Amino acid sequence: MATPENKLAFDDGWQYSPAPESTDHVRIKKKYDLFIGGDFVKPEKGRYFDTINPATEEVISRVALAADADVDKAVKAARKAYPGWSRMKAAERGKYIYRIARILQERSREFAAIESLDGGKPIRESRDVDVPLAAAHFFYYAGWADKLEYAFPGRNVKPLGVAGQIIPWNFPLLMAAWKIAPALACGNTVVIKPAETTPLTAMKLAEVIADAGLPPGVVNIITGAGETGAAIVNHPGVDKIAFTGSTSVGRIIQKALAGTRKHYTLELGGKAANIIFADAAIDQAVEGIVNGIFFNQGHVCCAGSRLFVQESVADRVIQKLKDRMETLIVGDPLDKNTDIGAINSQEQLATIRSYLKVGQDEGGEMFQSSCRIPKKGYWCRPTIFTGVSQSNRVVQEEIFGPVLAIQTFRTYNEAISKANNTPYGLSGGIWTDKGSKIFKMTQSVRAGVVWANTFNKFDPTSPFGGYKESGVGREGGLHGLDAYLKLEA
């Protein structure tokens, strides 16, 4: 189900090695301290929290809970490292980033298994998408480190200083790479916090960063929940905040930063329209719908969570979709045949379930595949709603689960106006045989990314980010450098 093109594009060879569902090669410590100033240090208050495997509900490891004093220590370490790192010869800086990329590749099997254990996503996705793409981001931005003057000709480029970065649980390692790689390439130092349900690949990345020999304090990785994140946002020694997560937390952060000199980028929620025209290759479009909403259990900000099908083909598309849903395997994330893994946390499962109820109460018709699901752990069968309208909450709000809201349309203009009728503007998809429709749509749908005859494809060269309540700024590509630089005339 996951993206075969990505597999080809980022094939690093190892998927042909022995079955990754064996976890013999995985080393997880019983307890993780904070990575500050190049060392693993105990949290000031001595507090730790559990991280669990959402597929089994078992505790995998304990992770330090950083308090204000720890955040302060991390920011000071980053400040101390900043003059040396920002003044280092840019080509040298690039070498360190290349080294991170290479070590990640070497340890990719272990990273993939830990990502699936800690977060619940299918091993096929962590193996073929998350980990190779994370390495690709480090490779890509390593290449930019000594070419910044060429990226912005005629401008004087300077790093911002210390970047505070807060990331979510849906693509833990990949989001760390999205944030750390451009920050380092531009000469900034970093304090980053992974999400509380998925801290383990970030702590593994700390090991990689130490092994790559980065000067102490250039990257600091601290763990904790919302309070720790807020302490990073509010710390006066931070020059830039990069956040990916919910729109509600994004709002809190934007308010906290108003009137300060801090720079920020916010990558928030989405409710993408995936639009299927009657002239589309229908079987491919059905695969695209499946990938659009069921990839990573639908825990995807750019998921194709609203489907618009042209009326003349709607019955056929929906029937094919239901048939295809019945073939999807929900279960053990470490099994390479699994299509849909575990829901990331009990809280997220409760959120999704509440939307299933809301959707039915609003009069929507719910269909779920009849697959078996394991007794323990957090699971949700692939789900679609038909008979819903624009005003329904399951059409308007981000559910962040394997739940698709389906509507039909007659004309091109109707499809566009429905697609744009949302507070979000992150991504969109179009399926058609006509190039002209594709170009017209990319002009008229207000979304940062529009995929044509494909969905959920990512590449480090391509900027990503939203309009409206989906956020501020862009990450990836040349635009991603802009977010970590002061550009002077």
Instruction: Choose between 77 and 195: whose C-beta lies nearer to Mg ion.
Output: 195
Choosing among Mg ion, ligand NAI, none, which partner's interface includes residue 398 (Cβ < 5 to 8 Å by kind)? Answer: ligand NAI
Instruction: Choose between 118 and 469: whose C-beta lies nearer to Mg ion.
Output: 118
Q: Binding to ligand NAI (CB under 6 A): which residues in 257-276?
A: 267-269
Of the candidates 125, 267, 397, 469, the residue annotated as catalytic is 267
Choosing among ligand NAI, Mg ion, none, which partner's interface includes residue 239 (Cβ < 5 to 8 Å by kind)? Answer: none
Query: Which residue's beta carbon is nearest to the bound ligand NAI?
Result: 229
- Work out whether 249 is an interface residue with ligand NAI (CB under 6 A): yes
The nearest distance, CB 143 to ligand NAI, in angstroms, is 26
Among 245, 298, 364, 480, binds ligand NAI (CB under 6 A): 245
Asked if residue 238 lies in contact with residue 441, where contact means CB atoms within 8 angstroms, the answer is: no
Kindly write out the interface string for residues 127-166 of this chain, putting x where it contacts ligand NAI by CB under 6 A and - elsewhere. ---------------------------------------x
Q: Binding to ligand NAI (CB under 6 A): which residues in 394-423?
A: 398, 400
Asked if residue 364 lies in contact with residue 401, where contact means CB atoms within 8 angstroms, the answer is: no
Choosing among ligand NAI, Mg ion, none, which partner's interface includes residue 51 (Cβ < 5 to 8 Å by kind)? Answer: Mg ion
Annotation says 267 is catalytic: yes
Choosing among Mg ion, ligand NAI, none, which partner's interface includes residue 142 (Cβ < 5 to 8 Å by kind)? Answer: none
Give how many residues touch Mg ion by CB under 5 A.
3
Instruction: Choose between 112 and 268: whose C-beta lies nearer to ligand NAI.
Output: 268
Choosing among Mg ion, ligand NAI, none, which partner's interface includes residue 118 (Cβ < 5 to 8 Å by kind)? Answer: Mg ion
The nearest distance, CB 451 to ligand NAI, in angstroms, is 17
Instruction: Choose between 346 and 453: whose C-beta lies nearer to Mg ion.
Output: 346
List the beta bridge partners of residue 366: 385
Among 3, 6, 51, 265, binds Mg ion (CB under 5 A): 51
Choosing among ligand NAI, Mg ion, none, which partner's interface includes residue 33 (Cβ < 5 to 8 Å by kind)? Answer: none
Of the candidates 186, 301, 302, 380, the residue annotated as catalytic is 301
- Work out whether 346 is an interface residue with ligand NAI (CB under 6 A): no
Choosing among ligand NAI, Mg ion, none, which partner's interface includes residue 88 (Cβ < 5 to 8 Å by kind)? Answer: none
- Work out whether 201 is an interface residue with ligand NAI (CB under 6 A): no
Asked if residue 365 lies in contact with residue 324, where contact means CB atoms within 8 angstroms, the answer is: no
Interacting span for Mg ion (CB under 5 A) from 149-157, 191-199, 237-245, 380-388: 191-199
Residue of 100, 242, 140 lying closest to 460 (CA atoms): 140
Choosing among Mg ion, ligand NAI, none, which partner's interface includes residue 233 (Cβ < 5 to 8 Å by kind)? Answer: ligand NAI
- Work out whether 170 is an interface residue with ligand NAI (CB under 6 A): yes
Among 54, 168, 217, 429, binds ligand NAI (CB under 6 A): 168
HEC-encoded secondary structure of the chain? CCCHHHHHHCCCCHHHCCCCCCCCCCCCCCEECEEECCEEECCCCCCEEEEEECCCCEEEEEEECCCHHHHHHHHHHHHHHHHHHHHCCHHHHHHHHHHHHHHHHHCHHHHHHHHHHHHCCCHHHHHHHHHHHHHHHHHHHHHHCCCHHHHCCCCEEEECCEEEEECCCCCHHHHHHHHHHHHHHCCCEEEEECCCCCCHHHHHHHHHHHHCCCCCCCEEECCCCHHHHHHHHHCCCCCEEEEECCHHHHHHHHHHHCCCCCEEEEECCCCCEEEECCCCCHHHHHHHHHHHHHHHHHCCCCCCCEEEEEHHHHHHHHHHHHHHHHCCCECCCCCCCCCECCCCCHHHHHHHHHHHHHHHHCCCEEEECCCCCCCCCCCCCCEEEECCCCCCHHHHCCCCCCEEEEEEECCHHHHHHHHHCCCEECEEEEECCCHHHHHHHHHHCCCCEEEECCCCCCCCCCCECCEECCEECCECHHHHHHCCEEEEC
Question: In the structure, how many helices (H) and strands (E) does the chain have?
Answer: 18, 22
Q: Identify the sign of the CA torsion 168, 171, 174, 178.
A: negative
The nearest distance, CB 88 to ligand NAI, in angstroms, is 30
Q: Binding to Mg ion (CB under 5 A): which residues in 117-146?
A: 118
Q: Binding to ligand NAI (CB under 6 A): which residues in 364-383?
A: none
List the catalytic residues: 267, 301
Residues lying near ligand NAI in the complex (CB under 6 A) are found at: 166-168, 170, 193, 195-196, 225-226, 229-230, 233, 244-246, 249, 252-253, 267-269, 301, 348, 351, 398, 400
